[in-house]
Chains A and B, each alone.
Chain A
Amino acid sequence: MREGMFRNVSGCAISGIFSRSGRRFSGKLIIDSITVMHERSNGLGGGFAGYGIYPEYKDFYAFHIFYEDRIAKKECEEFLEEHFDIINLSKIPTRKVPQITNEPLIWRYFVAPLPTKLADSQLDEREFVVRCVIRINTAIDGAYVFSSGKNMGVFKAMGYPEDVGRFYRLEEYEGYCFTAHGRYPTNTPGWWGGAHPFALLDYSVVHNGEISSYDANRRCIEMYGYKCTLQTDTEVITYIIDYLHRKKGLTLKEICSVIAAPFWSTIERKPQKEREELEYLRSAFDTLLVTGPFSIIVGFEGGMMALNDRLKLRSMVVGEKDDMVYVASEEAAIRVVQNDLDRVWAPKGGEGVIITLENGES
């Protein structure tokens, strides 16, 4: 049994660090933060997402791919060559860590869609990439694209997050934003693809919780071409965000009002314009409301968003120091990397904290 064949419920730790000024810092910081929350995971999954880590290839999609064997790699590379210009490919550098075993082949490709293929598809470039990723993940046995954005990358494995960070030599990467996840699944995922963050294009999600709306959300989003192959909350939340943000053009704030919508009693107290807007969002996107406990950190190009479920059934704290913003399941995970905070607070349920680069560029 491996993840995707059953629904795997998890508790977790999450952490995110963001530099508003776009100053790039080492991945060591995020490892230090997530390490503090060791007890919140159980060694069955850990991972990171880094943004701004590939400035030299920032115009190309960076595909991180797990292969179970060379046959899968060959088949996948044939597919990639058919659909993309491959600018660079290499193994993702790792170091041997006793706690991390049974690693698959882990490769990285910087690619751009082939102009002719893209034109033939009549799709916009990002949709073309999404479809190719979903195609590889569902049709090529033993190949799994776990990161597909520009100037960002996901690194994940079976193990405790601090060991995963060392395994991937994360301290050697520099970015303006990192997020991290330590997983406490109730069942063993059986393979590395089940670890988090879950990512599609530049959207990455780390999540702590178990959503009670899962199947309502899954069955809704699968109408729009997504396939929830992992059966995890994180996967379905990522697709919802991609759908609402990229495909429907909602702002992140509006997305918060869909997935962690205010209660009707709250909406009724709002001024008329705001009330109408909130009513519209809840009514128009009703089955994308997410209930049950969750705290999530969404990474995207140039920004990061933290959000709790509407009842705040999971802990999540935000801290600020100068241009730096820290989000974590526990305040300790912030204090360990920055004890001298200008401000620290626990956002209310459903209150999205959206942080973007000051100059609007990554």
Chain B
Amino acid sequence: MAVQYIYPEYEVVRNHDRCIVCRVCERQCANEVHEYLADSNRMAADDSKCVNCHRCVALCPTRALKIVKTDHTFKENANWSGKAITEIYKQAENGGVLLSSMGNPENYPVYFDKILLNASQVTNPSIDPLREPMETRVFLGAKPENIERDENGRLKNNLPPQLQLSMPVMFSAMSYGSISYNAHESLARAAAELGILYNTGEGGLHENLYKYGKNTIVQVASGRFGVHKTYLNSGAAIEIKMGQGAKPGIGGHLPGAKIVGDISKTRMIPEGTDAISPAPHHDIYSIEDLRQLVYSLKEATGYTKPVIVKIAAVHNVAAIASGIARSGADIIAIDGFRGGTGAAPTRIRDHVGIPIELALASVDKRLREEGIRRNVSIVVGGSIRSSADVVKAIALGADCVYIGTAALIALGCHLCRSCHTGKCNWGIATQREDLVKRLNPELGYRRLVNLMTAWKHEIKEMMGGMGINSIEALKGNRLMLRGVGLNEKELEILGIKHAGE
């Protein structure tokens, strides 16, 4: 047997006193970790295959299983971490680019966790959302420069197309292909019930889901998969994906193995061919080209739908956003470096891009300085983990947030970050029929509705505490925020004061 450089990261611990050898773990694990030993009538596990997704743990009827991090260790080294060493072993072995999934897990600052919210005391009253109306409805889209009146002096509705949402949260782009049909259906139905929107991602839209069109954002990305006139007109808005927080500067790659059946049909590419989205849009090499695509899409849809331009948060994000705001876009979506993905080169995911909090603060400020903030709405994602993050993002200046990872977690994702293997035991990031079946859209959509309902309650509580009874009064209201443990420069960029000031 060859030398094995890599010791498994996790160990499957089985309490044999509790194990009844029902073999459910064996059947549930697509990674084939568990094995039945007939001779001894016992279960065994191959730790090296375990991705720590908790599927077996969650299904074990006697709670006989748990997964622990191995205590096997390298000699301590403050420079060469076990992770760094292991990655070199892997690359020395296969000569390939390291792949990862979901958002950047590394130890960079999380600014949301260094920002605190205000509450009313004495000089103005806090408001109890259980007793008083508390409004979370938002409209996304450009606002008119001037009012217009008809011949009777009545105000004319000269608003460009707007998206109406019951709360400032939407489900972000995750393609049919990267996630399963059942995951897509769960998102679509939840969005419809909640009065918000979900996003097709770049894999087109399955014909069964056209009926959720008014709660759908249809995406146009560099691969143009699944894009046709009916598709564009089936949604409430169109999103041009220029970039993604998890992998700024590079495109996408859905392996041919996943391009089967309806996915091939929806993407309009032959079965078994790799779906490769180029890094740039090859018809957009500059800002003036973007403007042409924005207007092409508006022409195709009769100027009835807002156009979103989604970019990754990179160093020059404020200037880029300012350019987009002058290019006919109605909404800018900015995706932070913590944003999730179904697959990305590890080095890109972990080392490219900037935190969404800083990107948002500087974009909002720049657009205001230039007097064009009302030309566009701002949506941010990557990553929003709780209702508190939502409130902080709105107060920093966002109109709305996108959630992707949080929605998947609600559907059962355990953040094992192995989506790129296509063997998601939870039926989310997989196209294997037996696995997809595990996610019941009826239950999945309900869990998403529950999560958003809970967040909405929490958002209202926090707003009420601040004496704010409508979400628009929170938008860009940075006096409601204070930083803790941030330096002068960070505070300056965030445009907030330090706690105690």
Bound form: Cα–Cα A276–B159 in Å: 12
Picked from A186, A280, A292, A310, the residue with its CB within 8 Å of the CB of B155 is: A280
A101 touches B (CB below 8 Å): no
Q: Are B473 and A283 in contact (CB under 8 A)?
A: no
A292 and B475 within 8 A (CB):
no
Q: Do A250 and B147 have beta carbons less than 8 Å apart?
A: yes
CB-defined contacts of B371 to chain A, threshold 8 Å: 223-224
Interface residues of A in 250-272 (CB under 8 A from B): 250, 254, 261, 263-265
Contact with A along B122-139 (1 / 0, CB 8 A): 011101000011010101
Q: Which residues of A contact B146 (CB under 8 A)?
A: 248
- Kindly list chain A residues whose C-beta atoms are within 8 Å of the C-beta of B472: 216, 282, 286-287, 289
B480 at the binding interface (Cβ < 8 Å): yes
Check A284/B144 contact, CB under 8 A, given A186-B123, A265-B133, A291-B469. yes
B137 / chain A contacts, CB cutoff of 8 Å = 264
Q: How far is the CA of A116 from the CA of B151 in the complex (A)?
A: 36
Chain B residues with CB under 8 A of A250: 147
B221 to A: closest C-beta gap in Å: 29
Partner of B470, one of A214, A285, A289: A289
A219 contacts B478, CB within 8 Å? yes
CA distance A62 to B368 in the complex (A): 33
Closest Cβ neighbor of B124 among chain A residues? A210
On whether the beta carbons of B373 and A215 are closer than 8 Å, the reply is no
Q: Do the beta carbons of B469 and A215 come within 8 Å of each other?
A: no
Find the B residue at minimum CB distance from A186. Answer: B123
> Do A286 and B139 contact each other (CB < 8 Å), given the known contacts A222-B368, A254-B155?
yes
Q: Nearest-CB distance from A256 to chain B (Å)?
A: 14
Chain B 433-450: CB-based contact to A (< 8 A → 1; otherwise 0): 000000000000000000
Interface residues of A in 288-340 (CB under 8 A from B): 289-293, 310-311, 313
Contact A9/B123 with A215-B479, A222-B368, A284-B143 known, Cβ cut-off 8 Å: yes
| Other-chain contact of B468, A11, A209, A248, A291 (Cβ < 8 Å) | A291
Q: Does B223 contact A (CB under 8 A)?
A: no
The residues of A that contact B368 with a CB separation of less than 8 Å are: 219, 222-223
Q: A103 contacts the other chain (Cβ, under 8 Å)? A: no
CA A210 – CA B124 in complex, angstroms? 6
Among B132, B135, B468, the residue within 8 A (CB) of A212 is B468
Give the contacting residue for A283; candidates B135, B159, B470; CB below 8 A: B159
CA distance A289 to B135 in the complex (A): 12
**Is B474 an interface position by the 8 A CB rule?**
yes
Cβ-closest chain A residue relative to B120: A212
Report the bound CA distance from A211 to B125 in whole Å.
10
Q: B357-414: which have CB < 8 Å to A?
A: 368, 371, 373-374, 397
Number of chain B residues close to chain A: CB under 8 A:
38
State whether A291 touches B143 (Cβ < 8 A). Answer: no
A314 and chain B: residue at smallest CB distance:
B124
CB distance from A9 to the nearest CB of B (A): 5
Q: How far is the CB of A147 from chain B (nearest CB, A)?
A: 28
CB distance from B371 to the nearest CB of A (A): 5
- A264→B133 CA distance, assembly (Å): 9
Question: Contact at B473–A289, with CB atoms within 8 Å?
Answer: yes
Chain A positions within 8 Å of B133 at CB level: 263, 265
Question: Could you tell me how many residues of chain A have their Cβ less than 8 Å away from some Cβ of chain B?
Answer: 45
Q: Does more than half of chain B's interface fall in helix, strand or loop, or is it mixed?
A: loop
Known contacts A9-B123, A216-B472; A281/B477 CB under 8 A? no
A213 CB-CB contact with B under 8 Å? yes
Q: Does A91 contact B (CB under 8 A)?
A: no
A358 at the interface (CB under 8 A from B): no
Known contacts A210-B124, A223-B368, A286-B139; is-contact A276 B473 (Cβ 8 Å):
no
Q: Does B72 contact A (CB under 8 A)?
A: no
Set of chain A residues within 8 Å of B157, measured between Cβ atoms: 276, 280
Chain B stretch 24-72: residues in CB contact (< 8 A) with chain A: none
Q: CA–CA, A281 to B144, complex, Å?
A: 11
Report chain B residues within 8 Å CB of A213. Answer: 468, 473-474, 477
Query: Are B139 and A292 within 8 A (Cβ)?
Result: no
Per the bound structure, the CA–CA distance linking A24 and B179 in Å amounts to 75
A223 / chain B contacts, CB cutoff of 8 Å:
368, 371, 373-374
In the assembled complex, the CB of A16 is this many whole angstroms from the nearest CB of chain B, namely 22
B282: interface (CB < 8 Å): no
Is B430 interfacial (CB 8 A cutoff)?
no
Interchain CB contact under 8 A, A292 and B476: no
The answer to whether A75 has its CB under 8 Å from any CB of chain B is: no
| Shortest CB distance B362–A (Å) | 14
- Check B467 for interface membership: any CB of A closer than 8 A: yes
Least CB distance, A4 to chain B, in whole angstroms: 15
Cross-chain contact B467 with A249 (CB below 8 angstroms) = no
Among B135-176, those with CB < 8 Å from A are 135, 137, 139, 143-144, 146-147, 154-155, 157, 159, 162
B466 at the interface (CB under 8 A from A): yes
For A311, the chain B residues whose CB sits under 8 A away are 127, 132, 469
- Which residues from chain B contact A219 at a C-beta distance below 8 Å? 368, 397, 476-478
Whether A287 and B476, one on each chain, are in contact in the complex, defined by CB atoms closer than 8 angstroms, is yes
Q: Is the CB of B470 within 8 A of A210?
A: no
Going nearest first, the 8 A-B pairs with the smallest beta carbon separation are: A213-B473, A212-B467, A215-B479, A291-B473, A216-B477, A210-B124, A286-B472, A215-B477
Interchain residue pairs with CB less than 8 A apart (10): A210-B467, A219-B397, A248-B147, A264-B135, A264-B137, A280-B155, A283-B139, A283-B159, A289-B472, A292-B473
Since A223-B373, A250-B147, A286-B475 are in contact, a sample of 13 more A-B pairs with Cβ atoms closer than 8 Å, ordered by chain A residue number, is A186-B123, A211-B124, A212-B466, A219-B477, A219-B478, A220-B373, A223-B371, A280-B157, A283-B143, A290-B473, A292-B468, A311-B127, A313-B124
Residues in A lying within 8 Å of B, measured CB to CB: 7, 9, 11, 186, 209-217, 219-220, 222-224, 248-250, 254, 261, 263-265, 273, 276-277, 280-287, 289-293, 310-311, 313
